[in-house]
Amino acid sequence: MDTFLAVCRHRNYTRAAEELNITQPAVTQHIQYLQSYYGVKLFSYQNKRLALTEEGELFLQYANQILDLVNKS
Q: What pLDDT was estimated at residue 51?
A: 97
Which tens digit of pLDDT belongs to each residue from 56-67? 999 999 999 999
Q: Which 8-state DSSP code applies to residue 11?
A: S
Q: What CA–CA distance (Å, rounded) separates 27 from 20?
A: 9
Helix segments in the chain, DSSP class H: 2-10, 13-20, 24-38, 54-72
Q: What CA–CA distance (Å, rounded) separates 53 from 71?
A: 27
Which tens digit of pLDDT belongs to each residue from 4-55? 999 999 999 999 999 999 999 999 999 999 999 999 999 999 998 999 999 9
Q: Taking a C-beta distance cutoff of 8 angstroms, is the pair 55, 43 a contact? A: no
Q: What pLDDT was estimated at residue 42?
A: 98
The pTM assigned to this predicted structure is 0.90
